[in-house]
Amino acid sequence: MPRSRRAAVTRALVLVAVIAVWLVFGSIGGQAQGKLSEVQTNDAAAFLPSTAESTRAAEASRAFVEQETLPALVVLTAADGTAITAEQTAAVQEFAAGVPDRAVPGGGTWSEYLVGQPAVVPSQDGAALLVAFSLDADAAEQLLPDGDGVTDAFVVDLRAGLEDDLGATATTSGDLGLHAWVTGPAGFVADLVTAFGGIDGVLLLVALGAVLLILVLVYRSPLIPLVVILTAVFALCLAGLVVYHLADDGTITLNGQAQGILSILVVGASVDYALLLVARYREELRSVDDPFTAMRRAWRACVEPIAASAGTVIAGVLCLLLSELGSNRGLGPVAAIGIASALLAALTLLPALLLVGGRGSRVLFWPRAPRPSARDADGRGAPDPAQGTGLWARLARFVGAHARVVWIVTALLLAVGAAFLPTLRASGTSQADVFRTDVDAVSGQEVLAEHFPAGSVQPATIIVDQDQADAVSQAAQGVDGVESVAPYAGASAGAGEPDEGGEPVVVDGRVRLDVVTTAPSDSQEAVATVADLRTAVHQVDPDALVGGAAAEQLDTQQAGERDIRVIVPVVLLVIGLILMVLLRSIAAAVLLLVANVLSFAAALGVSAVVFNHVLDYPGADPTVPLFAFVFLVALGVDYSIFLMTRVREESVASGTRLGVVRGLAVTGGVITSAGVVLATTFAALGIIPLLFLAQIAFIVAFGVLLDTLVVRSLLVPALVHDLDRRTWWPSALSRRARSSA
């Protein structure tokens, strides 16, 4: 067999093998992607470190109860605002007594998952009823045979029962004239599950649909966009397969936020890398007849910047492993797996799909298939891009002609945006503020606070030595925002309600004090009260432990603030080292880092103005600026890497200043398209009705556009042009003869 024939057969076999392997990943990984919600953990307390005071308090509190429970609270009021009647009370009691016997989806009854009998408690003003159900805490974390979580399935069934049996919901009153809401910890968990339910399908469809539309506009071809989208989908399947198994065996922690970010990150990164490779491939197709030769050249030219880009993001997100919060640590490897999957797909599956038609593969670019053109005097397969008439060629020449003015003006504009950074309120939000739409748990919490002691649902707890209990109790009662303090005397019959008339329970010489706060336990006011409570209690007994829901929220916020101080410098150091190795230059690495940090500060400053004065958000969690920093700096450097690797390539042959103009002219269109695609995919997170994801969506989408359109298009090339060969210090390129202007 002739050598050319053998080579053709070998290439065909390699293409078939690559595509076959990815088909296996797609078939298995697609199923795993659909089951990611089954291995989620969305309990904030589970993410706290074991050294947190609330964690140690929770561990000590377990000794005081026979069985831990998760409350599901039903609050009912008369639709006409009058006092609850005896008839209404009797109907509610009858309904509550029948709930344990209701059938569970998949078999059995709810009595298997409930602790004790439900308690029906009238409010002191007589205008509301509270029905408390206690789910077994261990059982509440399990899945039913049909795959649904016990907690959200119970709440869904409870709400359906209220509507069917009593005609009572938040908006309907039925014959009995009652409105009803299901709230409490179980209600919030169920509403969070519902909010995250859009991640598996709606979010992905919106992101892929938006990206497909952008790609059609970019390529003006119906086929290449489909190839790129197919690459992204298979990359997501591989990532889902790996993440599912690691989360299932407990190696990593996955929550709903991380799953949503995973989908967006994989799609955005896959398309970004595909855009760069396809652009270089199309450029090479204008120089050679053979698609395989064109792909080989394009792959060799792109593998370094794409791998460096992926490596930068992977290194950046893995810095989250330094976090004290399990949710942040979990996002690190989840995001890294997603980026690695995107890299593998872009460098293996995409080339195989582009070459599957052999010499006829140019048809994928129809109706604008690239053809070889006559070589110019320099031996290049296309005219000098610096002399072109297109938008990016003209912009590149403008930047080259006015470099110093351009970088000074853009830096000043970014500094103006960064000046608003201190106005970003990122000290935390209440649990009710997590949702951007009206949900039953939040509405029910508000009604509950109107008629019952707000902090009685989840009181703060103090674990203290028995001989210090009176002094600590007295100190706690003197804290502003504390409604009452009482020793825990065991649970009475009825949904775990405390037995206020009994003797305090003593375990190993310690007692538990239950502290009812004036504000609801999920509010920032309660968090502030607990912070003051800890100060007062520790002055009396430094070994006392203050826990509870508000304490867990306080520890979470403090851990988030600590993570920012620790992780941000590490991310900058790691990315800086990668840039130095990639660009063989300390000066260029520092330049890119400074430019992208300034861009991040401007993005966060503008976001603060939008959040505070346009969208009127109540604040932000401390993890919002942390996640925004990790993603924006890592992803923003991506575009500068794409630009600077091409600038360096051109600078070796033509000098730095001409290299900047050529590099910007050639990469301008593809990098801008990549930035728009990534911004669009992150913006899709905004369809999930949760405050955290909406804020991340806006900050990253706006920041990516800022990096793409301002930093990479104006600031960085203008600075490099002005610095000239000094940009490459201390490499040999910095010692070459000075470039011509």
pLDDT digits (tens, 9 = 90+) for 400-420: 999 999 999 999 999 999 999
First to last CA, the chain: 55
Angstrom distances, CA of residue 517 to CA of 458, 486, 514: 9, 12, 10
Name the one residue in this structure whose structure tokens are 């009058």: 82
pTM of the model: 0.84
Task: Among 48-52, 245-249, 523-527, name the one with the lowest average pLDDT.
Answer: 48-52
**Is residue 579 over pLDDT 80?**
yes
Q: What is the mean pLDDT of residues 84-112?
A: 91
Name the one residue in this structure whose structure tokens are 């509403």: 191
Q: What is the mean pLDDT of residues 355-376?
A: 71
497 pLDDT band, cuts 50/70/90, is: very low
If one compares 294 and 388, the residue with the highest pLDDT of the two is: 294
Q: DSSP assignment, residue 75?
A: E
**Is residue 682 over pLDDT 80?**
yes
pLDDT score recorded for residue 495? 40
For all residues of the chain together, what is the average pLDDT?
86
Residue 123's region, left for phi above 0, alpha for psi from -120 to 50, else beta, is: beta
Give me the half-sphere count of Cα atoms (radius 13 Å) on the Cβ side of residue 477: 11
Percentage of residues of the chain with pLDDT beyond 70:
92
493 pLDDT band, cuts 50/70/90, is: very low
Structure token pair of residue 274: 């595909």
pLDDT score recorded for residue 380? 47
pLDDT score recorded for residue 147? 67
* pLDDT one-digit tens code per residue, 623-635: 899 888 988 888 8
**Is residue 54 over pLDDT 80?**
yes
pLDDT score recorded for residue 740? 46
Q: What is the mean pLDDT of residues 270-288?
A: 88
* pLDDT one-digit tens code per residue, 170-193: 988 888 999 999 998 899 888 888
Q: What is the length of the chain?
A: 741
pLDDT score recorded for residue 299? 93
pLDDT score recorded for residue 389? 65
Name the one residue in this structure whose structure tokens are 């748990």: 441
Highest mean pLDDT among 138-147, 345-354, 363-372, 728-737: 345-354
Closest CA to 432 of 515, 517, 527: 527
Q: What domains sit in the chain, N to C, each tagged with a CATH number?
A: 1-51+197-372 (1.20.1640.10), 65-195 (3.30.70), 388-437+554-741 (1.20.1640.10), 459-547 (3.30.70)
pLDDT score recorded for residue 304? 86
**Is residue 425 over pLDDT 70?**
yes
Angle at which helix 691-706 crosses helix 586-609, to 10 degrees, equals 130
Cα–Cα distance for residue pair 170/633, rounded to 1 Å:
44
**Is residue 33 over pLDDT 90?**
no
Q: What is the mean pLDDT of residues 63-77?
A: 87
Q: What is the mean pLDDT of residues 122-135?
A: 92
If one compares 445 and 142, the residue with the highest pLDDT of the two is: 445
143 pLDDT band, cuts 50/70/90, is: confident
* pLDDT one-digit tens code per residue, 651-660: 888 888 988 9
pLDDT score recorded for residue 433? 84
**Is residue 166 over pLDDT 80?**
yes
CB 267 within 8 A of CB 207: yes
